[in-house]
Amino acid sequence: MYPPSLAHLENYHIILASQSPRRHELLSGLNIPFEVQNISVEENYPAQLVGVDIPMFLAEKKAKAYTKKMTEHSLLITADTIVWHEGAVFNKPKDRADASRMLNALSGKTHEVITGVCISTLTKRKTFHVISEVHFAHLTTDEIEYYLDHYKPYDKAGAYGVQEWIGFIGVEHIEGSYFNVMGLPIQRLYTELKRWGKG
């Protein structure tokens, strides 16, 4: 049963086009039915894009790639998350050496996690972004190596999952949404879904 605030979505077939188990888990928390569909899109973008423009572009790119599969009753949710640090993007690491490089660069510093989210139907699209600032403690080489040995975070932007061991021992504090750092700013998404179709 839909929460009363989202009852206006009952006639939609809600689709989350994402391979991320974290996003599946977070969207499930809204207590609305949805279907998960995997979508394969090359996560490249124009070189001139920086910061918030990158995940918003990629979220829309994923939505456009899925459009042919949509019907008039489809409501599609796509998202992309990046780590932005000192003017550079930290995407998913290519290998262990790349993951180690990223974590060493983030150690003892503050970085931004930016998620772009696109909600779309065949006739309407809404794209937004959310930024969280994450403050990392200094990580020792042993701590980084232990994390890479046991968690292998090669599917995560910035080479870490905040909900994993490295988050427990490394994240001093977060300014902004914790769930955004996990990969989906669920409170903001809920707010946008509440407004959907209401003008």
Annotated active-site positions, please?
A: 80
Q: And the tokens for 195?
A: 């407004």
Q: What are the percentages of helix, strand and coil residues in the chain, rounded to 5?
A: 40, 25, 35
Segments in 49-197 forming alpha helices (H): 53-66, 96-106, 141-151, 165-170, 178-182, 186-195
Q: How many CB atoms lie within 10 A of CB 44?
A: 9
Please, what sign has the CA dihedral across residues 23, 25, 31, 35?
positive
For residues 73, 39, 17, 75, the Cα torsion angle rounded to the nearest 10 degrees is: -20
Sole residue written with tokens 């003892």: 108
Distance CA 93, CA 73 (A): 37
Distance CA 160, CA 7 (A): 36
Q: What is the largest CA-CA distance in the chain?
A: 54
